Amino acid sequence: MIYSFADIILPVAVKGSFTYSIPDEFSDDVKPGMRVLVRFGNRKIYSGIICKLHNVAPDLKNIRPIMELADTVQIANERQLAHWRWISDYYLCSRGEVMNAAVPSAFFPEGDISTSVIEKYSPREEMFIVLAKEFTDKELNEILDKLKKAPKQAEFLITYLDRTGYTRGSEIFPVRKSSLLKESGSSPEVFNALVKKGIMNSVSLEVGRLKDYGNNKEPLKILSESQQTAFNSIKNSFNKKDIVLLHGVTSSGKTEIYIHLIEEQLKLGKQVLYMLPEIALTTQIILRLQKHFGAVTGVYHSRFNDQEKVEIWKRVADEDPETGYRLILGVRSSIFLPFSDLGLVIIDEEHDGSYKQHDPAPRYHARDSAIILAALHKAKTLLGSASPSVESYNNTINGKYGLAELKERYSQIKLPEIIVANTREAYRKKLMVSHFTPELLHAVDEALGKNEQVVLFQNRRGFSPYVECPECGWIPVCIQCAVNLTYHKGINKMMCHYCGYSSGMPHACGNCGSTGLVTRGFGTEKIEDEIKIVFPAARVGRMDQDTTRSKNSFNRIIRDFEEQRIDILIGTQMISKGLDFENLTVVGILNADNLLNYPDFRAHERSFQLIEQVSGRAGRRKKQGKVIIQTSDPGNKIIRLVLRHDYLSMFRIQSEERATFNYPPFCRMIRISLKHKERSSLNHFADILGNDLKGLFGKRILGPEFPVISQIQLWYIKTILIKIERERSIVRAKDMIRDAISRLEKEKGAGGLKIAIDVDPY
């Protein structure tokens, strides 16, 4: 079939795709999913992707031709194109915005756009680095000891060990020399020195043959009786339903069940996508997967550079079972990889808020989008969680999803004992030591005495969330946002966590001039400082956004904790999820109040989930763990439920509340946010849109109003919330919203507005 026209997705924020004619010279070669060069707008050249070929002449006088084909192969397959279309329709964004999020930008280079990146990655011989022999743990420790005098060599070796997860004479994994040098920031001389010492070696391998190099895989763990029951129940449910929720308490062995399901799919020749909410988690899980599945396992997340992303992209698209990736472990953006034949999608910690992208567009939910992806492949989806989201659990009740359960921890270890420590009372009785209650200090002390480890959770980074003048109450705020500045002691700066603005610590009050400014509240940095004072002999580590900026920092901190070079690890929600440490027995939640009091309809659900999740890190292997929750409100109903690990009551109470007050999952929500640099113009345009929408939707419109943070980077913000009943057509509602926004954009002076639509903004 010869086609005359191609619809092309361009990296622009205009809705839809654009039709171009296909010159005869290209007509044999064009396929959907290929990159092409075209002119758009004022003679600018763009590279875009063909989404459709057809013979329907568009109703335009002047149809431009495709200028050039950028590749000989398709970049995206047809299922991906269909998936992008769904995302742009559902989340009300342009297909170009979806494409931008989906495709590594190396595919759209600036400047010379005609040379294909993909071609640079054809199979070839490359240098790889391996260990010189299968060292034992003891030998490795001796080597690392000796290398203390050569820190660069030690760093290089540790990077290799991190990357491969080498332990106790396990198989030696080759790592590409170029990437290891780069990752560790080492020079070739550093590596050569290690070769001379007989510690490492290089080998030349054909990239495609990587897999042969390690075939002695570890057999799967044998499932316990209750795990086997859950496994069977998942498979039975899959006979009737496409989506199943595995509700299993923390450390019940959900991951082991996933591994068994993955094995079945790989044997069938299918691909598997395994999603996690946080990059930090991939470090541990990837090792568990590679042990069993070897080199067909790949990882994908935003910390890879563009060239690496292209390489992963290509290996996912590679359908050869010897050279391609069959199993991908990834965070939310991994839904965009070019899978050819998915059999199963696993979404672990399905309730986690990090699956939702809030900015920029596409504002997609990776769990919901992955379910659609799975459907396009006729694949099954397994959601897993110890405390499922209210909407997913609700879907098991209304019959949309199957449900499988695991109610006990592996090897019958009890769920952790929860101790509620009343901070208000402790302050009153003067029993607090800095921010620590006697209960917490006692538990930490006991654990350290037995050489066990401790995690302290505080959901704020930095030293103090704000600084205050005790004389007049003045608080320094960001010059661009309506936000208090957080004090970071290590760098001695005040930082805005919204825009990144920073300034020095003021010497005097900006209002009354008094010099006695004090820090208020506490973040992870302050906890680190103070716990060191209370336990001077303990080795203390910290994991938050500030300590994990470099690519390998996650690995290093997690490894240090695993290998017990850290006794007390302090962290934000990064440490709350999925991590599995053998010797961790005590978890402290330093301030549950700021979780419970968050102004959002999901605050209670989320704090229950978070506390359950953090608690779940304690006592996973040998004995029951202990969790200390510090709060000024020990009678809080969510805390009472956490005490009993009572998920079902939490779910029931939340469902009733949401049904009564009309919140999801009983309605749908769309939030429009408007930004303008002038407050009066913002008010003006927000009212126009608000009134227009009220005319269409009546009482379903809430706002316009200023959100809690009403100004970011000099932009004033107002939001309008639309709640639509489940029974109404959401498609029609979205059309009406889109039309209303087009009308607003045509208003005089509306050019200074930024408009963002967020579908399911929770």
Residues that bind ligand ADP (CB under 6 A): 221-224, 227, 248, 250-256, 410, 580, 620
Q: Which of 475, 499, 538, 643 binds Zn ion (CB under 5 A)?
A: 499
DSSP-derived letter for residue 484 is B
Helix extents (H) in 592-636: 593-596, 603-615
- Among residues 117, 286, 509, 596, the one that binds Zn ion under rule CB under 5 A: 509
Q: Which amino acid is at 550?
A: S
- By C-beta, is 390 or 494 nearer to Zn ion? 494
Match 């509306």 to its residue by tokens: 750
499 binding partner (options Zn ion, ligand ADP, none; Cβ < 5 to 8 Å by kind): Zn ion
Pick 255 or 464: Cβ nearer ligand ADP: 255
CA distance 622 to 627: 16
User: Tokens in use for 196?
Assistant: 């001379």
> Nearer to ligand ADP by C-beta: 222 or 537?
222
Amino acid identity of 732? R
* Total residues interacting with Zn ion, rule: CB under 5 A: 15
Beta carbon nearer to ligand ADP, 222 or 731: 222
- Stretch 456-495 residues interacting with Zn ion (CB under 5 A): 469, 471-472, 474, 478, 480-481
Q: Which is nearer to Zn ion, 132 or 512 (CB)?
A: 512
Report how far residue 301's alpha carbon sits from residue 328's, in angstroms, rounded to the nearest whole number: 10
Stretch of 51-59, 364-372, 420-428, 511-519 lying at the interface with Zn ion (CB under 5 A): 511-519
Residue 213 contacts which entry, Zn ion, ligand ADP, none (Cβ below 5-8 A, type-dependent): none
Question: Which residue, 250 or 464, is less far from Zn ion as judged by CB?
Answer: 464
Give dist(CA 340, CA 74) in Å, integer: 12
What is the C-alpha separation between 309 and 210, in angstroms, rounded? Answer: 18
Residue 481 beta carbon to Zn ion: minimum distance, rounded to whole angstroms: 3
Shortest Å, Cβ 292 to ligand ADP: 12
Tell me how far, at minimum, the Cβ of 464 lies from Zn ion, in Å.
17
Q: How far is the CB of 588 from ligand ADP (least distance, A)?
A: 20
Pairwise CA distance, residues 288 & 299, whole Å: 13
Residue 224: which of ligand ADP, Zn ion, none does it interact with, CB under 5 to 8 A by kind?
ligand ADP
Locate 55 and state its tokens: 């013979």
Of the two residues 272 and 667, which places its CB atom closer to ligand ADP in the complex?
272
Residue numbers 296-355 binding Zn ion by CB under 5 A: none
Residue 511's binding partner out of ligand ADP, Zn ion, none, with CB under 5 to 8 Å set by partner kind: Zn ion
- Our measurement of the distance from residue 341's CA atom to the centroid of its chain's CA atoms, rounded to an integer in Å, reads 24
Range 174-183 burial, b when 16+ CB lie within 10 A, else e: bbbbebbbeb
Which of ligand ADP, Zn ion, none interacts with 252 (beta carbon under 5 to 8 A by kind)?
Answer: ligand ADP
Instruction: Please give the Cα distance from 416 to 440 (Å, whole number).
Output: 15
Of Zn ion, ligand ADP, none, which one does residue 227 interact with (CB within 5 to 8 Å by kind)? ligand ADP
Pair of tokens at residue 709: 């943070």
Query: In 46-146, where does DSSP find H-type helix?
Result: 78-90, 95-102, 137-146
- Measured from the CB atom, the residue of 221 and 442 that comes closer to ligand ADP is 221
Which of 203, 472 has the CB closer to Zn ion? 472
Q: Which residues of 314-351 are buried (b: 16+ CB within 10 A; e: fewer)?
A: bbbbbeeeebbbbbbbbbbbbbbbbbeebbbbbbbbbb
Q: Which of 268, 512, 708, 714 binds Zn ion (CB under 5 A)?
A: 512
Residue 283 CA to residue 550 CA, distance in Å, equals 14
Member of 511, 597, 624, 649 binding Zn ion (CB under 5 A):
511
* 501: contact with Zn ion by CB under 5 A: yes
Please state the closest distance from residue 224 (CB atom) to ligand ADP, in A: 5
Cβ neighbour number for residue 296 with a 10 Å cutoff? 21
Distance in angstroms (rounded) separating the CA atoms of residues 94 and 257: 38
Min dist. Cβ of residue 26 to ligand ADP (A) = 51
Q: Residue 362 or 616: which CB sits closer to ligand ADP? A: 616
State the Cα–Cα distance between residues 218 and 384, nearest whole angstrom: 24
Q: Which of 519, 526, 521 is nearest to 470 (CA)?
A: 519
* CB burial readout 451-464, b (16+ within 10 A) else e: ebbbbbbbbbbbbb
**Distance of alpha carbon 443 from alpha carbon 29, whole angstroms:** 69
> Which one of ligand ADP, Zn ion, none interacts with residue 394, CB within 5 to 8 A by kind?
none
466 binds, among Zn ion, ligand ADP, none (CB under 5 to 8 A by kind): none
Least distance CB 92 / ligand ADP (angstroms): 35
Binding site for Zn ion (CB under 5 A): 469, 471-472, 474, 478, 480-481, 496, 498-499, 501, 509, 511-512, 514
